[in-house]
Amino acid sequence: MDPICFQDSDCGTNGYVGSLFCFFGDLGQKWRTYKCNNPGTGSASCSDSDSNKVKQDCGDDGYVGSNYCYNNDVYRDFVDKGCSNDECFENTDKVLQQNCGTNGCSNGQCNQQIECNSNSECGTNSWIGNPFCSSGDVYQAYRTYTCNSPGTISSSCSNSDSNNKKQECGAEGCSNNQCNTGTVVCSSNAECGTNGYVGSVFCSDGDIYQAYRTYTSSNPGTISSSCSNSDSYQLKEDCGTNGCSSGVCNVGECPTSVCGGYCGSYSGFPNYRFYNLDGEGSYYPFCDSSCKYNYYEYCDYGCEDGECIELVCTKNSDCGTNGYVGSFFCLDNDIYQEYRTYTCSNPGTISSSCSSSDSNKKVSNCGELGCHEGGCRPGVVYFLEKGWNELIIYYEPENTEISNVLSSIGGKYDNVWAQVDGQWLSYSPTVLPLTSTLNYLEEGMTFQIEMNQAGVLTVISA
């Protein structure tokens, strides 16, 4: 009997057999090897064996392209390559690189605070200071506001002053900060000033007197017009038989109920407070029959029980400056802080009062990562498709236990595989924990996850 085979090739040609299938992230196929046993003898026989081999390398994962803006945050595309449904696939995921909060994103980077967009946002150009004479004309400083690099993150405000001509005086020139030419100083006495009492009152012949100033226009309505004034002492108040002391009429007997200070009129005007200070500036009461005093003051809002009435507030800012108070805190997965507003009720009256109210205001948007202990959580967001996906843990998770890391896609995945120290470990949420060999996902690990539906995996960093 002739031998069946003399060499392996007599039994068949080695080669791929069967259908393609996914094999550890690449495309695999069975490889059949033929063998001649006891070649060239009567007991020769043929056999074959199959083994799995990589037929096609589906490629490596990695970032591609540059950072770009998405949902007002900074993202970059990550290409996920692998095998699914017996063929190579290539998925591109948006991976969050930086959370820009309320500043937003432009040209692939977070915006910084823009100080100004136009010159008008820095201030209103205007004359400043007082006019002065220069080269026979009237000049004054003029301030110009400028927005440098407007509308950019390097924008800044500045201002510059220049002495500009405000009025040309001609041949007559300038003096006293105004043009000399044809200047009519005054056309009537009223343009020179308002007649009235000036200086302090004083006692004379037992009555109260005060200087009275009268304004006069000379050559009114002409360029040679000028103003002048003159003072005369006039009777301000007749004190009668009580007489006058320190510019105030004596009031006679002082009621005991006002010992230490009292409210009264001074030179015919009410709302004055009268009191005494000793030589060292300390307050002391008085109750003599003449109600003598050595100090007095005018009370803007009235006098009561020997004391000036004080107003609590005339406007909101008297009560406090509106602004943020307290620490940052999390609300609706964003960063908030309390904002305090001050209010003056019944402003400018003796019944005025202050109050404040606090409200929660958002100061930063944390996006999909959420907020924790008053700050946005650090981490990475993965957009997963149905089927097998290969991922890398870029940062150490807050809790490395596998079910915790994958909690944001609970119920959306069936199997997880990862190679650790050369050994393939697996985890499935649908089987008993003791049968799973992959218990943790840590920084730097690459793993494959089979999704039963698309989902978004959010991994919070430690």
Q: What is the pLDDT of residues 154-204, one digit of tens each?
A: 788 999 999 999 888 876 778 888 887 666 778 889 988 899 888 888 888
pLDDT for 330 equals 87
Task: From 138, 147, 121, select the one nearest 181 (Cα to Cα).
Answer: 138
Hey, CA dihedral for 438, 441, 443, 448, is it positive or negative?
A: positive
pLDDT at 86 over 80: yes
Domain for residue 381, yes or no?
A: yes
174-175/156-167 β-pairing: unpaired
Return the structure tokens found at 169: 């005086």
pLDDT for 380 equals 78
pLDDT for 454 equals 92
Task: From 85, 70, 4, 92, select the one nearest 41 (Cα to Cα).
Answer: 4
**Which amino acid, residue 63?**
Y
How much of the chain exceeds pLDDT 70, in percent? 88
d(CA 116, CA 152): 8
pLDDT for 275 equals 63
Domain for residue 371, yes or no?
A: no
DSSP state of 404: H
d(CA 319, CA 301): 19
pLDDT for 411 equals 92
Identify any residues that bridge with 372 across adjacent strands, giving them in sequence order: 375
- Of 130, 154, 179, the one marking the end of a domain is 179
pLDDT at 416 over 90: yes
- Rg of the chain over all Cα atoms, to the nearest angstrom: 47
Tokens 């040609």, residue located? 13
Domain for residue 1, yes or no?
A: no
pLDDT in tens, 228-264: 998 888 888 887 776 777 777 765 544 443 445 667 7
Q: What is the mean pLDDT of the chain?
A: 83
**Which amino acid, residue 328?**
F
Domain for residue 74, yes or no?
A: yes
Domain for residue 264, yes or no?
A: yes
Return the structure tokens found at 428: 């499935």
d(CA 251, CA 243): 9
Domain for residue 438, yes or no?
A: yes
Looking at the fold, whether 380 and 435 belong to one and the same domain comes out as yes
Identify the band that residue 266 occupies on the pLDDT scale cut at 50, 70 and 90: low
pLDDT for 294 equals 53
- Of 308, 337, 352, the one marking the end of a domain is 308
* 271-280, 318-327, 441-450, range with the lowest pLDDT: 271-280
pLDDT for 176 equals 86
pLDDT in tens, 18-63: 898 888 888 988 999 999 999 988 888 999 998 889 888 888 888 8
- 4: number of CA atoms within 13 Å, CB side? 12
* 214-218, 334-338, 355-359, range with the lowest pLDDT: 334-338
- Of 308, 329, 349, the one marking the end of a domain is 308
- 400: number of CA atoms within 13 Å, CB side? 12
pLDDT for 171 equals 66
Tokens 């004034």, residue located? 229
pLDDT at 287 over 70: no
pLDDT for 258 equals 40
Looking at the fold, whether 137 and 203 belong to one and the same domain comes out as no
Identify the band that residue 125 occupies on the pLDDT scale cut at 50, 70 and 90: very high
Looking at the fold, whether 213 and 265 belong to one and the same domain comes out as no
Looking at the fold, whether 432 and 382 belong to one and the same domain comes out as yes
pLDDT for 226 equals 85
Is the Cβ–Cβ distance between 210 and 232 less than 8 Å? no
Return the structure tokens found at 342: 């001050």
Segment 310-326 shows an average pLDDT of 88
Segment 317-327 shows an average pLDDT of 88
Q: How many domains is the chain partitioned into structurally?
A: 6
Sorted by sequence, the CB contacts under 8 Å of residue 206 that are 6+ apart come out as: 239, 243, 244
Domain for residue 227, yes or no?
A: yes
- CA distances in angstroms from 154 to 14, 99, 148, 192, 209, listed in the order given: 69, 21, 8, 54, 67
pLDDT at 83 over 60: yes
d(CA 33, CA 27): 19
**Which amino acid, residue 110?**
C
**Which amino acid, residue 419?**
Q
Domain for residue 2, yes or no?
A: no
Tokens 């004309």, residue located? 137
Tokens 């109600």, residue located? 291
Task: From 49, 42, 40, 51, select the one nearest 10 (Cα to Cα).
Answer: 40
pLDDT for 158 equals 92
Return the structure tokens found at 83: 């095998």
143: left (phi over 0), alpha (psi -120 to 50) or beta: beta
| Domain carrying residue 159 | 119-179
Return the structure tokens found at 1: 């009997």
User: Phi and psi (nearest 5°) for 69?
Assistant: -95, 135
Tell me which H or E stretch contains 270: strand 269-275
How much of the chain exceeds pLDDT 90, in percent? 23
pLDDT for 181 equals 64
Tokens 């056999």, residue located? 47
pLDDT for 459 equals 84
